[in-house]
Amino acid sequence: MTIVQLSIFIENRSGTLIKVLEVLKDAQIQIIASTIADTAEYGIYRLICSEPQRACEELKRAGVPVSLSNVFALELDNQPGCAAEAIATFSRAHISISYMYSFLLGDKGILVFRTDNAEQARQTILENHLRYISEPDLSCLA
Amino acid sequence: MSSPYFNPERETMTRAQIEAFQLERLKETVRHCLTNPFYQKKFKEAGITADDIQTLADVRKLPFTTKNDLRETYPFGMSCVPLKDCVRLHSSSGTTGNPTVILHTKKDLDEWANQVARNLWMVGLRPDDVFQNSSGYGMFTGGLGFQYGAERLGMLTVPAAAGNSLRQIKFIKDFGTTAIHAVPSYVTRLYEVMQEQGVDPRRDTKLRVLAIGAEPHSEEQRQRIEQMMGVKAYNSFGMSEMCGPGVGFECPEQNGLHFWEDYYIVEIVNPETLQPVPDGEIGELVLTTLCREAMPLLRYRTRDLTRVLGRSCPCGRNHIRLDRMRGRSDDMMVLRGVNIFPIQIEKILMQFPELGNNYLITLTTDQDNDNMTVEVELAEMFTDDYGRLQQLGKDITRALKDEILLTPRVKLVPRGTLPVSEGKAVRVVDKRKVYQ
């Protein structure tokens, strides 16, 4: 029910981001979505890509601190109000969201998020018949 | 008009008189040291006896002593009097192994007070002055050392101790404080708080003299302190092994520190070869005590780097003048008066499994405050949670503060980003103004 995300420790210093991107480029990894917040000294560069396991290994080999984690990815219609509707479901279930970002996949909006209670989120998704994508859905894209 | 000298006879000795005095005291000190098994062994190993000391230059035949000797003989192994004759004990923090213990007899304390009083008198302080000692008390010798010296001179002495700036400023105003002793970075802090409180030190206080020491500071920093506070600021040198503050002090000429040669033999040696360096050349300061009963020290390697500026002075004192300390011959850092070894930092960092082995300590002067930044590499990305990374930074900061008593800035960096040097790793980069 989840997709695999890379979390990369990234220093707020020129040259660090390009190093990561070049490792991925050389390994022919395709980036599907990514996000990075502005922070004082360091941040976490989170990305969804093709072949996350291989991407992780390549980055580690290049000395980049990286970890893999599982995040939820909901599929939404690309229309006003869809995000509000989905998040309201979690809000009613008292599930808080640690971080969230989104991207377009064809004509669908994909909402990627992580919660502090994965099991409860899983149940909420099932009970409310929310559409989600899983790792295999992404693999066939790349 | 009172004499410019606290002890005119000793302070204005000619070089010949100083050297004759030193030779006599050196012979006496060596005989006294040889009542102690530690020194007996050292002399035996060096193949010398007390009779080998015939001229002042013979001091170079004596074996060196080091902080390590003090640690290995902890706590009382280098005492040259029975413990019942000692009345005071000072000690270093001992964070890098056994602490170093320094014992004092009643006479040692008496002489120490005289040394400090001499310094304070030299910079124009008199019994009608009010002296506020804003220095740490307890085991740190800057507290009681200046307390006894200021009292010996006859000043009203306020043991304000360090910290609580609002109270310090209230004391300065209410008691009519004319002189303060503090570490330079604390003086800057006091000035900041004065500004916040709308207190102008020139208009609202009677301050005129500052004694600053116990942490390295540059000439520029001193001048800025003088301008800020509207005072004269004098550099003080001391170390607990020699007694504490009072070993060396600037006279009103502010051209180097007079080291009191009626109390110490001063040598400057090359820290590698241990051979004397010519005047003007930087080397390690080596001191031999001449008047101490409880724990005389022969050729003690201070690890402080300095150079000889001269042996005469317009102030009329012919005691050797040394430059302000230029650094250390070991890896000890002195930050805001606290002695810190990199190994202490390393010990703490290695307790965190999230961290790698590489780290870098950078010392900087930011607006007159000396600060420490500790950059440390993450072993691996252990979390996807920004909050946990921040918490790790806070935990490291707290653990370091508990160890070194100062709050460093902790910076997490990716593995492989810190410089890896060939052979011995560079752990400390000192960018403070004083060393530039």
Q: Which helix (H) or strand (E) holds B227?
A: helix B219-229
Question: Is residue A50 within 8 Å of A139, Cβ to Cβ?
Answer: yes
Taking an 8 Å cut-off on Cβ atoms, the answer to whether B414 and A44 are in contact is no
Taking an 8 Å cut-off on Cβ atoms, the answer to whether A11 and B414 are in contact is yes
Which candidate, B111, B121, B115, places its Cα nearest to that of B315?
B121
Q: Which helix (H) or strand (E) holds B119?
A: helix B106-122
Q: Is B120 left (phi over 0), alpha (psi -120 to 50) or beta?
A: alpha
Q: How many Cβ atoms from other residues are within 10 Å of residue B13's Cβ?
A: 19
Question: Is residue B303 within 8 Å of B274, Cβ to Cβ?
Answer: no
Could you tell me which residues come within 8 angstroms of residue B392 by beta carbon, excluding any fewer than 6 positions away?
B352, B354, B412
User: How many whole angstroms separate alpha carbon B309 and alpha carbon B321?
Assistant: 5
Q: How far off is chain B from A53, nearest CA to CA, in Å?
A: 15
What helix, strand, coil percent values describe chain A, rounded to 5? Answer: 35, 35, 30
Question: Is residue B134 within 8 Å of B180, Cβ to Cβ?
Answer: yes
Model pLDDT, residue A100: 94
Query: Do A2-69 and A70-139 share a fold?
Result: yes
Question: Is residue B232 within 8 Å of B209, Cβ to Cβ?
Answer: yes
Model pLDDT, residue B120: 98
Question: Is residue B93 within 8 Å of B339, Cβ to Cβ?
Answer: yes
**Three-state secondary structure string covering A35-55:** ECCCCCCEEEEEEEECCHHHH
Full set of structural domains in chain B with CATH: 8-330 (3.40.50.12780), 335-435 (3.30.300.30)
Could you tell me which residues come within 8 angstroms of residue B125 by beta carbon, excluding any fewer than 6 positions away?
B131, B150, B153, B155, B178, B179, B209
B/e letters for A63-97, b = 16+ CB within 10 Å, e = fewer, are: ebbbbebebbbbbbeeeeebeeebbebbeebebee
Which whole-number Å values give the CA distances from B187 to A43, B217, B366, B368, in the listed order?
Answer: 37, 12, 14, 10
For residue A47, the chain B residue with the least C-alpha distance is B384
Q: How many Cβ atoms from other residues are within 10 Å of residue B392's Cβ?
A: 19
Please tell me whether the peptide bond between B276 and the residue prior to it is cis, using omega within 30 degrees of 0.
no
Which candidate, B319, B332, B391, places its Cα nearest to that of B363?
B332
Which residue from A9, A11, A39 is facing B381, i.e. has the nearest CB? Answer: A9
Model pLDDT, residue B182: 93
Which residues of B lie inside 8 Å of A (Cβ-Cβ)?
378, 380-386, 389, 411-417
User: How many whole angstroms separate alpha carbon B55 and alpha carbon B51?
Assistant: 10
Taking an 8 Å cut-off on Cβ atoms, the answer to whether B383 and A63 are in contact is no
Which residue from B384, B386, B414 is facing A64, i.e. has the nearest CB? Answer: B414
For residue A99, the chain B residue with the least C-alpha distance is B385
Q: Which CATH code is given to the segment(s) A2-69?
A: 3.30.2130.10
What is chain A's pLDDT, residue by residue, as a tens digit (142 residues)?
899 999 999 988 888 899 999 999 999 999 999 999 777 788 899 999 999 999 999 998 888 889 999 999 999 998 899 999 999 999 999 999 999 999 988 888 999 999 988 999 999 999 999 999 988 777 666 5
Best residue in A18, A23, A41 for a mutation probing chain B (most B CBs within 10 Å): A41
* Residue B417 with chain A: CB contacts under 8 Å: 11
User: How many whole angstroms separate alpha carbon B103 and alpha carbon B3?
Assistant: 33
Structure tokens at B339: 């002695």
* Residues B54, B59, B62: CA angle, nearest 5 degrees: 110
User: How many whole angstroms separate alpha carbon B96 and alpha carbon B300?
Assistant: 19
Which residues of A lie inside 8 Å of B (Cβ-Cβ)?
5, 7-11, 16, 37, 39, 41-44, 46, 63-67, 69, 98-99, 114
B/e letters for B207-236, b = 16+ CB within 10 Å, e = fewer, are: bbbbbbbbbbbbeebbebbbebbebbbbbb
Model pLDDT, residue B425: 59
Specify the amino acid at residue A126.
L
Model pLDDT, residue B379: 81
Model pLDDT, residue B256: 96
Which residue from A41, A46, A69 is facing B411, i.e. has the nearest CB? Answer: A41
Question: Is residue B26 within 8 Å of B53, Cβ to Cβ?
Answer: yes
Taking an 8 Å cut-off on Cβ atoms, the answer to whether A11 and B415 are in contact is no
For residue B380, the chain A residue with the least C-alpha distance is A65
Q: How many residues in total does chain A contain?
A: 142
A70-139, what's its fold? VC0802-like (3.30.2130)
Structure tokens at B81: 């009097």
Q: Does the predicted interface ipTM exceed a cut of 0.90?
A: no
Taking an 8 Å cut-off on Cβ atoms, the answer to whether B414 and A5 are in contact is no
User: How many whole angstroms separate alpha carbon B365 and alpha carbon A110?
Assistant: 49
Helix and strand counts by DSSP (H, E) for chain B: 12, 20
Q: How far off is chain B from A99, nearest CA to CA, in Å?
A: 9
Taking an 8 Å cut-off on Cβ atoms, the answer to whether B378 and A9 are in contact is yes
* Residue A10 with chain B: CB contacts under 8 Å: 414
* Residues B362, B364, B368: CA angle, nearest 5 degrees: 160
Q: How far off is chain A from B371, nearest CA to CA, in Å?
A: 17
Structure tokens at B377: 């590499």
Taking an 8 Å cut-off on Cβ atoms, the answer to whether A9 and B384 are in contact is no
Q: How many Cβ atoms from other residues are within 10 Å of residue B242's Cβ?
A: 26
Specify the amino acid at residue B403.
E
What is chain B's pLDDT, residue by residue, as a tens digit (436 residues)?
589 999 999 999 999 999 999 999 999 999 999 999 999 999 999 999 999 999 999 999 999 999 999 999 999 999 999 999 999 999 876 555 678 899 999 999 999 999 999 999 999 999 999 999 999 898 889 999 999 999 999 999 999 998 899 999 999 999 999 999 998 878 888 998 898 899 999 999 999 999 998 777 778 778 889 999 999 999 999 999 999 999 999 999 999 999 999 999 999 999 989 999 999 999 999 999 999 999 999 999 999 999 999 999 999 999 999 999 887 888 788 888 788 888 788 888 888 988 887 889 999 988 778 899 999 988 888 888 888 999 999 999 999 998 888 899 999 998 778 876 544 556 888 888 664 4
Residue with tokens 């916040």, as numbered in its chain? B196
**Domain ranges within chain A, ordered by starting residue:** 2-69, 70-139
Model pLDDT, residue B422: 47
Best residue in A5, A9, A17 for a mutation probing chain B (most B CBs within 10 Å): A9
Decide: residue A122, CB within 10 A, 0-12 exposed, 13-18 middle, 19+ buried. middle
Q: How far off is chain B from A79, nearest CA to CA, in Å?
A: 30
Question: Is residue B256 within 8 Å of B309, Cβ to Cβ?
Answer: yes
Which residue from B384, B411, B415 is facing A63, i.e. has the nearest CB? Answer: B415
The pTM for the full model equals 0.72
DSSP strands (E only) in B176-263:
179-182, 209-213, 232-239, 244-250, 257-259
Q: How far off is chain B from A69, nearest CA to CA, in Å?
A: 7
Taking an 8 Å cut-off on Cβ atoms, the answer to whether B386 and A39 are in contact is yes
Q: How far apart are the first and last CA of chain A?
A: 19
Model pLDDT, residue B420: 63
For residue A15, the chain B residue with the least C-alpha distance is B417
Which residue from B384, B416, B417 is facing A69, i.e. has the nearest CB? Answer: B384
Which residue from A37, A42, A67 is facing B382, i.e. has the nearest CB? Answer: A67
Taking an 8 Å cut-off on Cβ atoms, the answer to whether A42 and B416 are in contact is no
* Residue B384 with chain A: CB contacts under 8 Å: 5, 7, 44, 46, 67, 69, 114
For residue A46, the chain B residue with the least C-alpha distance is B384
Q: How far off is chain B from A70, nearest CA to CA, in Å?
A: 10
Question: Is residue B361 within 8 Å of B345, Cβ to Cβ?
Answer: yes
Three-state DSSP at B102 gives strand
* Residue B380 with chain A: CB contacts under 8 Å: 65, 67
Specify the amino acid at residue B106.
K
Q: How far off is chain A from B62, nearest CA to CA, in Å?
A: 53
